[in-house]
A and B are shown apart, each in its own frame.
Chain A
């Protein structure tokens, strides 16, 4: 799948790069075509799922995470973890206080 230079550096093979690129193109086509079917609220999650698969492919193969020290991947994933923590709390709280918001404020 991939050769190594003398000092243990990983070189991605052409075949791998091309297959990943094609996989990403298919993924894009998939996300677009999914929107034509109405799965209700599921749509957003299916779309996010496919996008995450694409992101993981880019991360693992294009960004060499698969052959790299695992700490690098840990750093990258922890960034997403802290982001989801922030999104979770902010969305939960704002959803709970929507009932006191005056729509269309300031009323002329």
Chain B
């Protein structure tokens, strides 16, 4: 039993035994077209490394045992330099590393040049969540993609550097504020995979996780269709809640009464609110609508006028859904 365990460990360490979904001791499942090539090169370098590592360690152990210091006995005569030996262990590693570089660069070329017919999704990274805009304008907090179709991500960040990293697809690209970042992949197996932020971006850097849902052939379009008109399919309150989470409102407004950058929205509807300019107002549909479109117009007392305008980013039916959601936040059915 120990022998099989050891054998499995050794072969696993050398990475040669991928399981059914392509994941092995070293690598996560291979779910994109480039994963195969990356894992092959990983194993190629691993083989070289294990060989040289064993060469060094075994030689070291043999020398230590064979030439152990014995009382009063000094080392035998041996050469202090040998040009031929020096050349061999310079040239051979040089050839190997050139080979590694070439494979690495070829793989990189495939990874960095998206095919022209790629399906384009816009990605928006901001402190601490991802949002994905599909070509028909629908925005979701998860990345849904059709299987076996090249997907091109055009990414932007609103604040600091983030990095979109999908281990299963072997794809990673930093999203630097002030520029577009581009990445592409083609998923080969339906399923759900993790999408991490790989560049440190602050408090909840480790919670900035989204999911990539790869739909089987034909199912993506139906999903997109249904999800896009979520206003019709979902109840207004659910649609409002979804918008509240996906459009970044929850970054600054809490729904459980706790203070954040913006006022908490627990029981906001009908509440009398005193404003920064001293006047007071009872919160109704118009005030919510005005606060969404021109947030700086009437700011609640004690808060900074930092809310960005959603003019042109939220359609009227969407604003109505959000208002319904706020009405449901009357404290009776407290949100999670």
Query: Are A and B in contact, CB atoms below 8 Å, in the complex?
Result: yes
Counting residue pairs across A and B whose Cβ atoms lie within 8 Å, the total is 17
For B180, what are the chain A residues with a Cβ–Cβ distance below 8 Å?
100, 102
**Cβ of A96 to closest chain B Cβ, rounded Å:** 12
For A100, what are the chain B residues with a Cβ–Cβ distance below 8 Å?
179-182
A97 x B179 contact (CB < 8 A): yes
Q: How many of chain B's residues have a CB under 8 angstroms from any CB in A?
A: 8
For A105, what are the chain B residues with a Cβ–Cβ distance below 8 Å?
177-179
Is A106 on the interface with B (CB-CB < 8 A)?
yes
Is B156 on the interface with A (CB-CB < 8 A)?
yes
**A104: nearest residue on chain B (CB-CB)?**
B178
A101 x B179 contact (CB < 8 A): yes
**Cβ of B159 to closest chain A Cβ, rounded Å:** 9
- The answer for the CA separation of A105 and B158 in the assembled complex, in Å, is 10
Q: B33-83: which have CB < 8 Å to A?
A: none
Which residue among B158, B179, B182 has the maximum number of chain A CB atoms within 10 Å of its CB? B179
**Cβ of A39 to closest chain B Cβ, rounded Å:** 34
**B176: nearest residue on chain A (CB-CB)?**
A100
**Cβ of B182 to closest chain A Cβ, rounded Å:** 7
For A106, what are the chain B residues with a Cβ–Cβ distance below 8 Å?
158, 177-178
- The answer for the CA separation of A101 and B181 in the assembled complex, in Å, is 9
For B181, what are the chain A residues with a Cβ–Cβ distance below 8 Å?
100
**B158: nearest residue on chain A (CB-CB)?**
A106
- The answer for the CA separation of A100 and B158 in the assembled complex, in Å, is 15
Residue interface mask B166-198, A partner, CB < 8 A = 1: 000000000001111110000000000000000
**B180: nearest residue on chain A (CB-CB)?**
A100
**Cβ of B194 to closest chain A Cβ, rounded Å:** 26
- The answer for the CA separation of A101 and B177 in the assembled complex, in Å, is 9
**Cβ of B124 to closest chain A Cβ, rounded Å:** 13
**Cβ of A9 to closest chain B Cβ, rounded Å:** 43
For A97, what are the chain B residues with a Cβ–Cβ distance below 8 Å?
179
**Cβ of B306 to closest chain A Cβ, rounded Å:** 13
- The answer for the CA separation of A100 and B183 in the assembled complex, in Å, is 13
**Cβ of A86 to closest chain B Cβ, rounded Å:** 21
**Cβ of B45 to closest chain A Cβ, rounded Å:** 26
Residue interface mask A70-108, B partner, CB < 8 A = 1: 000000000000000000000000000100111001100
For B182, what are the chain A residues with a Cβ–Cβ distance below 8 Å?
100
**Cβ of B303 to closest chain A Cβ, rounded Å:** 20
Residue interface mask B134-164, A partner, CB < 8 A = 1: 0000000000000000000000101000000
For A101, what are the chain B residues with a Cβ–Cβ distance below 8 Å?
178-179
- The answer for the CA separation of A97 and B178 in the assembled complex, in Å, is 12
Residue interface mask B185-216, A partner, CB < 8 A = 1: 00000000000000000000000000000000
A102 x B158 contact (CB < 8 A): no
**Cβ of B305 to closest chain A Cβ, rounded Å:** 13
Which residue among B156, B178, B180, B182 has the maximum number of chain A CB atoms within 10 Å of its CB? B178
- The answer for the CA separation of A100 and B182 in the assembled complex, in Å, is 9
- The answer for the CA separation of A101 and B92 in the assembled complex, in Å, is 43
- The answer for the CA separation of A102 and B177 in the assembled complex, in Å, is 9
5 more A-B residue pairs beyond the given contacts A100-B181, A102-B179, A106-B158, with a C-beta to C-beta distance below 8 A: A97-B179, A101-B179, A102-B178, A105-B179, A106-B178
List 17 contacting pairs A-B, 8 Å CB cutoff, sorted by A: A97-B179, A100-B179, A100-B180, A100-B181, A100-B182, A101-B178, A101-B179, A102-B156, A102-B178, A102-B179, A102-B180, A105-B177, A105-B178, A105-B179, A106-B158, A106-B177, A106-B178
